Structure 1
Amino acid sequence: MPDRPQPPASRGNRRRHDPDRRERIIAACLEVIAEFGVAGTSHRKVAAAADVPLGSMTYHFSGMDELLHAAFGRFATSVSDGFDAMMAAAEGPEEAERIVVAIVDDTAAESHRFLVLTHELYTLAAREPAFRGLTNAWMARSRAALERHFDPATARMLDALIEGLTIHRALDTEPHDPAVAADAIRRITGLRT
């Protein structure tokens, strides 16, 4: 009897080459959080959003906390990088002040996603001390960027003001008055531009 051709090797034994899978999972996790919140985020939803097998979630992340930490770490670093670049580009305190006003006025209006992700991170950090390192690092970077143009005490006050005014701007049901942010920032910096 002649030899029969053998079927090709099972695909189940071959690994799919997907070097960007971990990064795709992290990006998908942020999108799932933006849509469903941390409480509504699951391995299953993230795997579906990233278009990866559910089993690969545990290959790349030991659990949901590790995935959330990676995702929020990426988010905080991205926001910090942008803020740092804007402060680095400012040529002096007056221009830095104008940039801070623009950040307060534009950030909340620009992105609902940004607002949701920020507040989800803050809530998680308030409940879980393991995530406070992310928020503390974010605040430290913001203050360091502001300290290019302002003394440390002023930088700390401006950082808190930016956070507070951004929240108010995003959630207030009353019409926004851009002069409020400019006036508050000038009062803190003592500059009259």
Structure 2
Amino acid sequence: MTVGTDGRRAKGERRRRALVDATLRVIGRDGVAAVSHRNIAREAGVPAASIGYYFDSIDDLLVATLLDGVEALVADMDRMTREVTSNERWPAVVAESLAEMLDAKRERTIAEYELYLLAARRPALRPAARRWIEVASGYVNGGEGGDPDAIRAAFATIDGLLMQGLIADRPPTAAELTPALKYVLQPVDYLRGAGIIP
């Protein structure tokens, strides 16, 4: 492979990345209804026709944007896995991540949830929208998994905390998020500590 080919591939990846990032910004700022070839191209600083070169349709671009969120999740889960040295630390570490999503990364979180909800109306987006649960589930118990109902409850709680946090007057802190996460991630330890079970 020539250097020229490598250069074109790298430029293509940068252009594709710019389009996905622009899509996240447009959705986070103006909502998913604002996604169009013209708006995304303007946000990315590229010709509108170039979108069709990298993505077959707007839905294809939206799927790529959802999957980009999964890549971010993988990086975050890898980081958390390195940080957590005992199971008792998981609720606090997850709470810190959620607090960041609701504050410093708020616009991105809003965009990802708009896409997540759009998947209810657009079947083409559903596999990508469900992918985050599949990926996150792969980290449970060091990849060994666990009780499916407990895992579902944990991820439903995370979704709920994020949705509630997005509509709150101020983003909740990690300290405020930790108790609910402790309850679903470590129910037996939590109840024992509260004196409810021996």
TM value normalised by structure 1 = 0.77
Does residue 110 in structure 1 map to residue 121 in structure 2? no
Q: Which residue of 1 aligns with 2:183?
A: 187
User: Residue 27 and residue 109 in structure 1: after superposition, are their counterparts in 2 closer, same or farther (change >3 A)?
Assistant: closer
The one of 144, 157, 167 aligned to 1:161: 157
Checking the alignment, whether the CA contact within 8 Å between 2:20 and 2:64 is kept in structure 1 is yes
Query: How many residues are treated as equivalent by the alignment?
Result: 177
Describe the SS at the equivalent of 1:52: coil
Q: Which residue of 2 aligns with 1:76?
A: 70
Once the two structures are superposed, residues 7-62 of structure 1 have per-residue CA deviations (whole angstroms, 9 ceiling, x without a partner) of xxxxxxxxxx6433222222222222222222111101111122222222222222
Describe the SS at the equivalent of 2:138: helix
Q: Which residue of 2 aligns with 1:152?
A: 147
Runs of 4+ in structure 1 displaced over 6 angstroms? none
Q: Which residue of 2 aligns with 1:171?
A: 167
- C-alpha separation between the residues in 1 aligned to 2:53 and 2:179? 51
Higher helix share goes to which structure? 2
Q: What amino acid does structure 2 have at the position aligned with 1:27?
A: D
- C-alpha separation between the residues in 2 aligned to 1:43 and 1:135? 22
Identity of counterpart residues, as a percentage? 26
Once the two structures are superposed, residues 123-159 of structure 1 have per-residue CA deviations (whole angstroms, 9 ceiling, x without a partner) of 2111111111112110111222233287334333222
TM value normalised by structure 2 = 0.75
Q: Which moved more, 1:178-187 or 1:18-27?
A: 178-187
Query: How far is the alpha carbon of 1:77 from its aligned partner?
Result: 2.0
Does residue 24 in structure 1 map to residue 18 in structure 2? yes
- Structure 2 unaligned segments of length 5 or more: list them: 1-7, 194-198
- C-alpha separation between the residues in 2 aligned to 1:24 and 1:175? 28
Q: Which moved more, 1:144-153 or 1:74-83?
A: 144-153
